[in-house]
Amino acid sequence: MDFSLSEEQRMIKDSVRKFAQERIIPYAHQWDHEGKFPRELLYKMGELGYLGVPIPEEYGGAGLDYISEAIVFEEVGYADSSVRTTLSVQMSLVELTILKWGTEAQKQKYLPNLCSGQSIGCFGLTEPNAGSDAGNISTSAKRSGDGWVLSGQKVWISNGTWADVAIVFAQTEPGSKHRGMAAFLVDTKTSGFTSRKMTGKLGLKASDTGELFLDNVQVPESALLGKVGEGFKIAMSALDNGRYGVASGCVGTAQRALDVSVRYAKERIAFDKPIASFQMVQDMLAQMKVDVEAARLLVYNAGWVKNQGLVSTIPVSIAKLFATEAAKRNADMAIQVHGGYGYSDEYEPEKLWRDCRVASLYEGTSQIQKLIIGRDLTGIAAFE
């Protein structure tokens, strides 16, 4: 496999990096303190084609490959994980799920506006009592005439209060767990659908996170995504895409932690010399560099598998596991290199650390990734 970037991919990388340096990095700390970033930023990203990288042009996307998608996530993740989270949910969890499972009418209705940024999407799976145990959701879907009535609550939903359309997972047969799950495309202006912003997060403070409340929300049969009983498969395929986006973004975070540490180590003087000359500092920088390179190659390997149209669950889980943990290690080590200043919000490491901590939790914890990999190795599931 040759992971050298094509001319087109290099142009994408340069374009996104320039955009991030001009439109994201200078404002990221301000957005973090304010707990929000301007929605207009997404419109601009949509105009530049960043919101629909792997979506075919016929549906408003750029029609590019998955390595290009990883490049976009890495560069945006380098600039700010809150923006990357918003972008990843939009593209990985919502757009690609509609592309794979939606009818032609659903694709035509939703994808062009999602790719342009005129519409924002969210992914409603997690509930107060159903996180990793996705088959235990209690949100219900009951047949009503020619449609369905949805009732329940979702939590920790990125883009939750911004969203114009939500993919909502519900149980059609109480007690049937995976077998009865279904997915629905719900316009958030539908009567009975409300949301509430969740605050008090450790990191990703500029990213919108909300609770969703569905109180007898009536949707037509045309809102059903896929078939009844396919909800769990839809959720898992979506999470494969979401994990790829998280892993790619964490490569950017790990690279940012390395870059700011190298810069600081060369500037900071102690004992009459730059601390970069100290062996233990070089040891930390070398470890950070290895983590960045290994994480990027694992992401590109997963992207190559996806580009071949092959089942990518295992390479994606491996990339997600390693890249998220690598980002955490690098952010933590960046604080160590910066010493006391690393603990201050006047310097970058503390925000990098806060923002990347959640990466090993959402889209499947690191422990879930290990169980997926372990099941593939042994043929034995740790749980059903």
The alpha carbon of 312 is separated from its chain's Cα centroid by a whole number of angstroms, namely 17
What tokens were used for 96? 């690609």
Closest of 229, 262, 214, 252 to residue 356, by C-alpha: 252
Q: Give CA–CA dist 260/224, Å, rounded.
A: 47
Instruction: Please count the other Cβ atoms lying within 10 Å of the Cβ belonging to residue 360.
Output: 22
Q: Which residues contact 11 (CB under 8 A, 6 or more apart)?
A: none
Q: What's 213's DSSP letter? A: E
Cβ-in-10-Å burial (0-12, 13-18, 19+) of 262 comes to: middle
Q: Where are the alpha helices (DSSP H) in 102-165?
A: 104-116
Closest of 166, 155, 223 to residue 189, by C-alpha: 166
Residues serving a catalytic function are 363
Q: Give CA–CA dist 276/124, Å, rounded.
A: 46
Instruction: Please count the other Cβ atoms lying within 10 Å of the Cβ belonging to residue 221.
Output: 10
Q: Give CA–CA dist 246/139, Å, rounded.
A: 26
Q: Give CA–CA dist 174/140, Å, rounded.
A: 8
| Single-letter code of the amino acid located at 327 | A
Contact 207, 80 (CB under 8 A): no
Q: Give CA–CA dist 10/2, Å, rounded.
A: 15
DSSP string across 161-197: TT-SEEEEEEESSTT-GGGGEEEEEEETTSTTEEEEE
**Beta partners for 194?**
213
The distance in angstroms from the start CA to the end CA of the chain is: 35
